[in-house]
A and B are shown apart, each in its own frame.
Chain A
């Protein structure tokens, strides 16, 4: 326990939720600084409640702290109230455990989970007193290392990082830290260390790579500065997922955070191959964790945290082959202890409805379907293997079981989308409502009605997906599509049972710019930050005008990154990263999409994506006819 706090009592008594900044949580790790060689500060660049809900950081935190020579601490973005005070009073950003300035650490690790947090990265660097640009840093500054899904296209934020760790954290940190210790002991320079680090698998040191552009702004070449450096960076991946690091004692926050529960990651990757989904491509191949290991983890983590809820984490829980066994076990163990079970990402069918009726209060819970597109044609384009028949059967079963609330998720602006596809969203919503009235006799209807909540988000093409070549819609197109959806819903017979929500379009456009951006955007992000923008992921603080103006100031256009048609030959800013799947595979999928042809999932048929090079996972399991 550490009662020496970085913030004064006056500040703590003045700000919202001081518990965000005092550390001392259950299972937080404290070490004697005289006995460690490497001080590592792990950051999630958003507010504490969001950052503390992230499993990845807990895994790395646990792993690094298992090593006696390393102390890993945590830091999050100070909320706006404290941010203003820290700037005013020149208080350096500090790590939660030791409460010591981040600037004094050997490493600052930043997980980059979504594009709209880029300015918060700069907030964290700035408040820490670390130069924003990697090239301005000296021997006194920590090595700033980034990881997470957005670092599969690290180029827009390349200026701010010394190293990017591409892929899963379990595999190369030990090696990286050993080399760091060796260089530190030998008194070698930061530059020397970074050059050595760049030769560790998975490590990308942006300063050691040079980009040149064609006149039209596309990339003409991307080269390492030395022949000793790899031309492509292959993602790191943990193949032995049942026997690796996992946080048996995750940190338990005092305040309520978004994910206030034990999280059991049952598998990595997804067999489905939805063409819009970046995670489904990045984390291939599918690797399941052994169910016996999961059972043991569940009990141990519940015991060590005291959480009252456990949640399964994966991209598609229904595809976990041992799911029935695991759920039976959890129900048996958790029921008597009054521990809730949360089962996200379940496909709605007889099995999942049966399970859900055992673990939830049907009257209070709602069913979730993610058809993503309104017509079968468009669902074939995006390779979402969910048919109208399956949805309506699932809904009918659920209505018979007593559910009356349904949530539907769709995307607007998908490649090849027509007005008919958009009308399909309204029609599908209507059919589900109609199914309720057909299935449930009048006298058995709770409150006499069904509630359908239809939500749409705007599609943003992401790197390493078959849609990385697709033009993104303009803001006007997005809003028009939302209007069409709304109008179509009001024309439905059961429109009174349907509530429609849509997202704002501005942030989706900017997300699109950053997602497929290049290094030239670094200047935009820095200038936007210097003009006072951060917490862009929070719609109330997102200042679209500032972003638009700044992009122009820097001689760039948003359209170049979003609405522009990309040729199949174009070199993308992220092409030097090898995510394990080949560009040829993505191209094939992009062409198949345009022909409205589906690709079977990994369990049915190998599509030759390239992930079998890792020598394990689903690629080497027997195929089934499931």
Chain B
């Protein structure tokens, strides 16, 4: 049986990296005595797929991972067991059963929704609320990605599905492309907004919360984003 587990990550636990969160769940699932399915071969491991790594320091209300189980009492029971074996900062929010032919969490991801705030007094001079309409009306939003291999220019525009700001700059909401080929990070969008008015983001300025992770049940041209645990995805 394929299960999809939605969980949140808050507080001190946000400093635990993605690989360690995976290790955490592998151990938590054993503590919870879930009848989890292991891969074949000489070093069997739990069959586990994470939707999308969350950066160190970010919080989340919508992380997903898929596991497989050989048997279970109910989804609710799995949720209860893992939560009993978990720590306070990581909480399972929902468990759904997927159809056997379901695409795994990682391959399903199309978009992610974020809330971004500025830490203490690290906001820009710029009033983001005022400049957003103009920023979003641009045909292209060129962003220079820096990596070990060098720099590369990408257009963020097609991947920004929604972008809004509360009047006092206090929180910025965004729905961004999060598919594996063209994932956009919230910090890139913020850098682009500030750069468009000659400002630079201060060091470690952003507090990012991933609100949810989405898959596209529409088409490429007319996307219809639903959370990864939407009823449409559940096994009949």
Contacts and interface: CB of A to CB of B under 8 A. Distances in A.
A308 B38 CA distance: 12
A255 B18 CA distance: 10
Nearest to A3: B11
Nearest to A25: B87
A24 B87 CA distance: 8
Interface stretch (B25-33, B153-161, B180-188, B210-218): B25-33
B30 A13 contact: no
B31 A13 contact: no
B57 A13 contact: yes
Given A1-B12, A5-B12, A26-B27, 15 more contacts: A1-B89, A3-B89, A10-B203, A10-B204, A22-B12, A252-B27, A254-B20, A254-B23, A255-B17, A255-B20, A256-B20, A302-B30, A305-B31, A308-B26, A364-B42
Given A9-B204, A254-B20, A361-B42, A305 B12 contact: no
A306 B85 contact: yes
Contact of A2 (B12, B29, B45): B12
B30 A306 contact: yes
5 contacts: A5-B12, A13-B204, A22-B13, A26-B24, A306-B85
B16 interface: yes
A386 interface: no
A18 interface: yes
B31 A306 contact: yes
B56 interface: yes
A214 interface: no
Given A2-B12, A306-B29, A361-B42, A9 B23 contact: no
Given A3-B11, A12-B57, A19 B16 contact: yes
B44 interface: yes
A10 B204 CA distance: 7
A580 B17 CA distance: 48
B56 A26 contact: no
Contacts of B77: none
A24 B42 contact: no
Return the 4 tightest CB-CB contacts between A and B, nearest first: A306-B27, A1-B88, A306-B30, A306-B31
Given A23-B12, A24-B12, A26-B87, A9 B119 contact: yes
Contacts of A24: 12-13, 87-89
A502 B203 CA distance: 45
Nearest to B13: A24
Contacts of A306: 26-31, 85
Contacts, number: 78
A13 B16 contact: no
A53 to B, nearest CB: 15
Interface residues of B, number: 30
A588 interface: no
A3 B12 contact: yes
A9 B33 contact: no
Interface in B30-64: 30-31, 33, 38, 42-45, 56-57
A304 interface: yes
Contact of B33 (A18, A22, A303, A364): A303
A251 to B, nearest CB: 12
A12 B43 CA distance: 34
Contacts of B28: 26, 306
B209 to A, nearest CB: 14
> Which size bracket describes the interface of A in this complex?
20 to 34
B88 to A, nearest CB: 4
B87 A1 contact: yes
A135 interface: no
B27 A19 contact: no
Contacts of B27: 26, 252, 305-308
A337 interface: yes
Contact of A1 (B11, B85, B203): B11
A338 interface: yes
A361 B12 contact: no
Contacts of B23: 254, 256
A10 B26 CA distance: 30
A463 B132 CA distance: 73
Interface in A335-378: 337-338, 361, 364
Interface string A18-47: 110011111000000000000000000000
A473 to B, nearest CB: 42
A18 B15 contact: yes
B13 A303 contact: no
A19 B20 CA distance: 9
A10 to B, nearest CB: 5
A592 to B, nearest CB: 47
Nearest to B27: A306
B233 to A, nearest CB: 28
Given A22-B12, A254-B24, A361-B42, A337 B17 contact: no
Contacts of B85: 306
Contacts of B204: 9-10, 13-14
Nearest to B119: A9
Residue among A13, A14, A364 with the highest chain B CB neighbour number at 10 A = A13
Interface in B151-185: none
Contacts of A3: 11-12, 89
B93 to A, nearest CB: 18
Contacts of B15: 12, 18-19, 22
A3 B88 CA distance: 10
A256 B20 CA distance: 8
A10 B42 CA distance: 43
Contact of A18 (B30, B44, B56, B89): B56
B57 to A, nearest CB: 5
A618 B186 CA distance: 65
A250 to B, nearest CB: 12
A233 to B, nearest CB: 41
B30 A361 contact: no
Interface in B99-135: 119
Nearest to B10: A3
Nearest to A1: B88
Nearest to B55: A13
A10 B207 CA distance: 11
Contacts of B57: 9, 12-13
A13 B11 contact: no
B89 A337 contact: no
A338 B204 CA distance: 42
A263 to B, nearest CB: 15
Contacts of B44: 338
Contacts of B119: 9
A252 B20 CA distance: 12
Nearest to B45: A338
Interface string B3-23: 000000001110111001001
Contacts of B89: 1, 3, 24
Nearest to A360: B42
Nearest to A256: B23
A14 B13 CA distance: 16
B31 A19 contact: no
Interface string B66-109: 00000000000000000001011100000000000000000000
